[in-house]
Structure 1
Amino acid sequence: MDVKTGLFYLFSAVLLFAAFRVITAKNPVYAALYLVLAFSQAAAVWLMLQAEFLAITLVLVYVGAVMVLFLFVVMMLDIDMDRLRGGFWKHFPLAGIIGAVIALEMAAVLMGGFRIGEEGRIAAGAAVAAAPDYSNTRELGKLLYSEYLYPLEVAAVILLVAIVAAIALTLRQRKDSRAYDPAQAVRVKASDRLRIVKVAPTVAAPPPPPETPAPEAKA
């Protein structure tokens, strides 16, 4: 077994362990951290398959953005996990059936992809060997911005609409929040913030009145 095969089995084993701990960890923060570990191992496997664009996209998008946002949400919200786990065994049979169907579909797709003839493997190896400076990221960019340019633009417009809608939903006027106009803060002047008031000069306090002697008591 060579080094590449050993690294593949190592990354795969860690990936399977992390994926198992994602669904078995009781603490949602630990589950999210295990999911980050699973993503990193999947990115390493993709790098070994010379799919560096997918690996970098997985790390930047999911690990660097989605999972960080998920961790912030989980740590900031007070989630009652016992209440969420209350109906676990009630829905477990249906979830098990759906999981088995998905596993069978993935197995069918993978087995169909592994059935590559020897001639196809030799041709692919010759094509890769004939182009030492081949980059799948560059080829993917050429294909994406040539044949799939219109679907890319449609997806960009949909994402833009989603961003504008999210901003519009968060810009509600709330009574319990204090807000200020940045334009007024920029145009502020010293006379608006400082007011000079003339006060009378300080005078000495008047002397206390003399003490009157107490009257003598009569015998």
Structure 2
Amino acid sequence: MLQGIAFYLLSAVAVVSGLLVVTARNPVHSVLWLILAFFSSAGLFVLLGAEFLAMLLVVVYVGAVAVLFLFVVMMLDVDFVRLREGYATYLPLAAIVAGVLLAEMVMISIVVVQGGAASDAVAPAVATADASNVETIGRVLYTDYIYFFQAAGIVLLIAMIGAIVLTLRKKPSVRRQDPGAQTNRDRKTSVEIKGVVTGAGVTGEELR
């Protein structure tokens, strides 16, 4: 009974939060509603017994992605009034796409309810008393899907390097550190002993 109440409550919060993400006028409020939707989805994963996925959803999406969205929205001076000028123009196309996605989700839900979602030839890995969900996911991920996992890591590494290369700009007016010169410094070039008179202090010229 309590699980049923928690399921319907979290589902309702997730659906309402998802709608408010799209319909909120303030982009900061949209990101906050998105964080609430992530928390509600994590609660649903906990009810399904997938606590590892719930932890990933909170740590990765709420702790990194949503916070990044929030900082980007707050720091960038984006003219959202100008972005909404073409809202009425693209509304029919958006309605068609939303209708297609809704129809697909309804069809998939009907198939799952009828018991045809999983094939009889492929048995999904299920956590047992001897192995937790984390251990079961690790075994499947690093045995059956190791090549896909490595390929995804390479793609993310390339994307990270590309983002650094695209955003790195060397300007002559900006002072940059030289790690090699800092590491190779010795005591003679980095330390200078000054004889300071008691009560006189140190002048700016001496500090330079």
Shorter-chain TM band: 0.7 to 0.9
Tell me the residue number matched to 1:85: 84
Tell me the residue number matched to 1:20: 19
Q: 1:62 deviation in Å?
A: 1.0
Partners in 2 of 1:176 and 1:91 — Cα distance? 45
After TM superposition, the structure 1 = structure 2 runs for residues 3-82 of structure 1, keeping only pairs within 5 Å, are 3-82=2-81
Secondary structure at the aligned position of 1:139 is classed as helix
After TM superposition, the structure 1 = structure 2 runs for residues 69-218 of structure 1, keeping only pairs within 5 Å, are 69-116=68-115, 131-133=128-130, 135-186=132-183, 187=185
Partners in 2 of 1:31 and 1:56 — Cα distance? 22
Distance 1:42 1:191, change over 3 A: closer
Distance 1:81 1:134, change over 3 A: same
State the identity %: 42
Q: 1:141 deviation in Å?
A: 1.1
Q: 1:167 deviation in Å?
A: 2.2
In structure 1, list runs of 5 or more residues that go unmatched: 118-126, 197-219
Q: 1:79 deviation in Å?
A: 0.8
Q: 1:169 deviation in Å?
A: 2.5
Equivalent residue letter for 1:21? L
Q: 1:165 deviation in Å?
A: 2.1
Partners in 2 of 1:192 and 1:142 — Cα distance? 53
Distance 1:38 1:185, change over 3 A: same
Partners in 2 of 1:106 and 1:177 — Cα distance? 53
Q: CA RMSD in A?
A: 2.5
Higher RCO, 1 or 2 (CA under 8 Å, sep at least 6)? 1
Equivalent residue letter for 1:109? I
Q: Spell out, residue by residue over 1:96-138, the C-alpha distance to the aligned partner (whole angstroms, 9 max, x if none).
A: 0100100110111111111139xxxxxxxxx98xx44553332
TM-score (norm 2): 0.79
Equivalent residue letter for 2:95? G
TM-score (norm 1): 0.75
Partners in 2 of 1:30 and 1:40 — Cα distance? 15
Distance 1:190 1:73, change over 3 A: farther
Partners in 2 of 1:192 and 1:133 — Cα distance? 59
